[in-house]
Amino acid sequence: MNHFLDINKTDPETLRSILTQAQVTKDARQGLPKGTPDADQPLANHMVALIFEKPSTRTRTSFDVGVRQMGGQTMVLSGSDMQLGHGETIADTARVLSRYVDLIMIRTFEEETLLELAEHATVPVINGLTNRTHPCQIMADIMTFEEHRGPIVGKKVVWCGDGNNVCASFLHGAQQFGFDFTFTGPQTLEPEAEFMAAARKAGSKVIVERDPFKAVEGADLIVADTWVSMHDSQTTKERRHNQLRPYQVNDDLMAAAGEQALFMHCLPAHREEEVTSSVMDGPQSVIFDEAENRLHAQKAIMRWCVNG
């Protein structure tokens, strides 16, 4: 069963083949109208369930469009539609859905929900996001970096801010793709020690540097994410802003990194908070290429899930 649950649970050769397929698919679509189906139809006669316990713009749109371009159909289900794990066990939901659909993508809160769904499903399951990781985003990010700067192996990636789920998957990416990773942010918001240790064990140079200006020296890529979640209380938001304000990505920080450094953000962004508009709209920003590549990377992931 080809589940795509996390980058560190998929071998490097498979990850590389997925990115190669993503680029091939993207190149083949150059010049075509956006609604044009792909030349081949690997999801023809396939029904894909897209489950969203968390709201989404890019994940929902990119998966839905990707399935349709590859000849499949989607069934979009919200948490309120399903009451996942409340009225029925997750295991039973997995068994039932597997009788109806050919592939399941889930965007959920707890990692345990994803893992239990995958354990009991008899069709492939894709992690569209959990509170702990966000692997599809990092596949798109690596694809984007390599389009602009070539192979990412040996490069320096700097994460500014909160060591959240996207940061965790970047550490998994360092582990599997062989780039170095520097975290700059408050001690209270560091990424999980387990993830940093695994990347170091795989040979990546993983550094924690409190001074953001020292952290970005010689960076090839600087990445930021939102400081707060829509579910955070006002008190939590204020506390996070106070902790993270020194780690804003602005023109001075990008200048300290140098012209070679790209800037990424998985979006949506709170302009003038974690990053300034001048950086987001500036010459080193590739945020909209990054957003587009969610479509191409996820199409390649789905292709691998159903066809190997």
Q: Convert the pLDDT of each residue in 10-24 to its tens digit.
A: 999 999 999 999 999
State the DSSP H helix or E strand holding residue 180, giving kind and residue range, or none if neither: strand 180-184
**pLDDT confidence of residue 98:** 98
Q: Is 136 annotated in the active site?
A: no
- Positive or negative torsion for Cα 163, 253, 283, 173: negative
Distance CA 114, CA 70 (A): 25
Residue tagged active-site, from 3, 120, 240, 294: 294
Note whether 81 and 54 are within 8 A (CB): no
pLDDT more than 90, % of the chain: 90
Please give the distance of CA 218 from its chain centroid, rounded to a whole number.
24
Question: Is 137 annotated as catalytic?
Answer: yes
What's the pTM? 0.96
Nearest CA-CA partner of 17 in 195, 139, 113: 139
Residue count of the chain:
308
Annotation says 107 is catalytic: yes
Q: Which residues contact 266 (CB under 8 A, 6 or more apart)?
A: 58, 134, 137, 141, 166, 225, 290
Residue with tokens 């939102």: 226
Q: What is the pLDDT of residues 107-127, one digit of tens each?
A: 999 999 999 999 999 999 999
- Active-site pick, 225, 248, 296, 305: 225
Q: What pLDDT is stored for residue 233 in this prediction?
A: 75
Residue ranges of the chain whose pLDDT lies below 50: none
Asked if 294 is an active-site residue, the reply is yes
Give me the catalytic one of 3, 120, 134, 303: 134
Residue 105 — φ and ψ, nearest 5°? -110, 135
Which residues make beta-bridge pairs with 183? 159, 208
Query: DSSP letters along 142-155, please?
Result: HHHHHHHHS--TT-
pLDDT confidence of residue 86: 73
